[in-house]
Amino acid sequence: MAYLLRSLIVLMVVGMAFTTLSAHHVVVLELGHIQLAIPAYLYTLFTQAFVMFYFIGVARLTNNVQTILQSGTQLKELFEDPPQDLTPYLKQVKRMTYEADTCKRQTVPWSILMIVLGMLGFLLGGAHDTSLVSKSVHSGVVYGFLVAMTIGFFRQWYYLGKSHKLLRKLKTLFEIPDAQM
């Protein structure tokens, strides 16, 4: 899943790069930057929602496993034959829960910022077309969006790798099949 999400965010950056280059007339396409911005922003919205739900899901899974281990009930969901001493499992899962929560905290705010700034830039572009705001207002918000997207891209890339390894360790620890979450 991390590889799929990494490909999605790369395509998002490429789409926004083409839109920006088209706005600056560096890349001349048949479509203008306005026509490129509509699908590019919708794709960004889809991608960032997908990324957020991935990190939220990984954190939720590790929290659920930790809750099961701490309560001692429903251990059959994790083990065929539950061991008497759950202390080593609790220690490892507690660390994994912390790592998953860290990954979520480090990426979700950037996703939200990208969505909000992209939406504002998009709306201000329409306002600029109708002469309600100056070009500098629209451009300033779009540049802010591009900076947030760049920072968010690298953070998401890094934490997608960490979360992927974390899921592998958790699934290996409890012998959970790869297709199961």
Show me where the domains of the chain are located. Answer: 49-174
| Residue 99 near residue 66, CB atoms below 8 Å | no
CA atoms of 24 and 21, how far apart (whole Å): 5
pLDDT tens digits, one per residue of 8-29 = 999 999 999 999 999 988 988 8
pLDDT tens digits, one per residue of 25-67 = 898 888 888 889 999 999 999 999 999 999 999 999 999 999 9
CA atoms of 98 and 100, how far apart (whole Å): 6
pLDDT tens digits, one per residue of 64-110 = 999 988 888 888 888 888 888 888 889 999 999 999 999 999 999 99
CA 7 to chain centre: 12
